[in-house]
């Protein structure tokens, strides 16, 4: 494996510093919300995790399209990396959302529109990883992955728009007008808004860093797989 490029090393340090800064802003800069108080602080990283999760699923679909056009295995590696990291961020979103919901909604879980679509989204991509493992031929596996991620990406806008389209939802809308049935909404003071956007930027940088590392891992795995195939032939 090639040593890490300088840009990646810089990105590693930058991501850690940004994470510490975002952590500091959440606890030292953003004011305490009046009704939910401390538990509301989950919101900043929850939204940022959801953002990068969805971003990664879209990136995987884009990589899928490029693979179908170019038939280059490197796009399959990129697609797999995007899905895997997005799954990590998205499962974090679902779990922390559930933790926030317990004191605010008085339940860990409810089959609300957003929660249901988010769960389906997560399941679609867990299935992607499982199904991939069942295909041995690298070209077939890559073709399957590309088509799957393109179709799977349809669930991203559905999940994002679900609380904006369906009027009877308990989940608050962060950006845009929230509806009357939402529980846990709050007026965002400018420092809260600034902290949220800073967290979005921070997690985007962390995503790029992890993405790069995961792509390098994929390239190494491909090298090992090729050597094994050569030996078998």
Partner 1 sequence: MLDYSVSIKYMLAGYTVFLAIPAVYLISLVIRVRNLQRDLQTMKEFQKKNPK
Task: Tell me which of 38, 72, 131, 139 binds partner 1, using CB under 8 A.
Answer: 38
List the interface residues with partner 1, window 152-181 (CB under 8 A).
none
Residue 92 in the binding site for partner 1 (CB under 8 A): yes
Residue 182 in the binding site for partner 1 (CB under 8 A): no
Residue whose C-alpha is closest to residue 192's, from 33, 24, 37, 17: 33
For residues 223 and 77, what is the distance between their CA atoms, to the nearest angstrom?
A: 12
Residue 20 in the binding site for partner 1 (CB under 8 A): no
Task: Tell me which of 21, 36, 68, 215 binds partner 1, using CB under 8 A.
Answer: 36
Residue whose C-alpha is closest to residue 29's, from 204, 197, 184: 197
Beta-strand ranges (E) seen in 39-85 are none
Residue the block writes with tokens 């797989």? 225
Residue 31 in the binding site for partner 1 (CB under 8 A): no
Site string for partner 1, 183-212 (x = CB under 8 A): -----------------------x---x--
192 Cβ neighbours under 8 A, 6+ residues apart: 30, 31, 33
Residue 95 in the binding site for partner 1 (CB under 8 A): yes
Residue 229 in the binding site for partner 1 (CB under 8 A): no
Residue 109 in the binding site for partner 1 (CB under 8 A): no
For 14, 18, 69, 178, 214, the CA distances from 10, given in Å and listed in that order, are 6, 12, 33, 40, 17
Contact 21, 85 (CB under 8 A): no
Task: Tell me which of 8, 42, 58, 208 binds partner 1, using CB under 8 A.
Answer: 42
For partner 1, the binding residues (CB under 8 A) are: 1, 34-39, 41-42, 45-46, 49, 85, 88, 91-92, 95-96, 99-100, 102-104, 206, 210, 213-214, 216-217, 220-221, 223-224, 227-228, 231
């Amino acid at each position: 494996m090639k040593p890490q490029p300088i840009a990646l090393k810089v990105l590693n340090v930058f991501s850690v510093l940004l994470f510490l800064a975002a952590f500091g802003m959440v606890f030292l800069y953003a004011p305490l919300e009046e009704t939910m108080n401390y538990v509301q602080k989950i919101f900043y990283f929850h939204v940022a995790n959801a953002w990068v999760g969805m971003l990664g699923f879209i990136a995987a679909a884009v990589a899928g399209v490029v693979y179908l056009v170019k038939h280059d295995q490197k796009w399959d590696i990129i697609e797999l990396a995007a899905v895997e990291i997005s799954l990590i961020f998205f499962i974090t979103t679902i779990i922390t959302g559930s933790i926030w919901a317990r004191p605010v909604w008085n339940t860990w879980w409810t089959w609300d529109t957003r929660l249901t679509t988010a769960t389906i989204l997560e399941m679609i991509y867990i299935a992607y990883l499982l199904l991939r493992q069942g295909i041995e031929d690298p070209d077939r596996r890559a073709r399957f992955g590309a088509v799957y991620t393109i179709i799977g990406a349809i669930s991203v806008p559905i999940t994002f728009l679900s609380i904006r389209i369906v009027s009877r939802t308990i989940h608050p809308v962060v950006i845009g007008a929230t509806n009357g049935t939402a529980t846990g909404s709050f007026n965002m003071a400018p420092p809260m808004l600034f902290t949220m956007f800073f967290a979005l930027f921070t997690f985007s940088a962390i995503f790029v860093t992890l993405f790069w590392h995961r792509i390098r891992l994929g390239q190494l795995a491909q090298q090992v797989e090729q050597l094994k195939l050569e030996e078998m032939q």
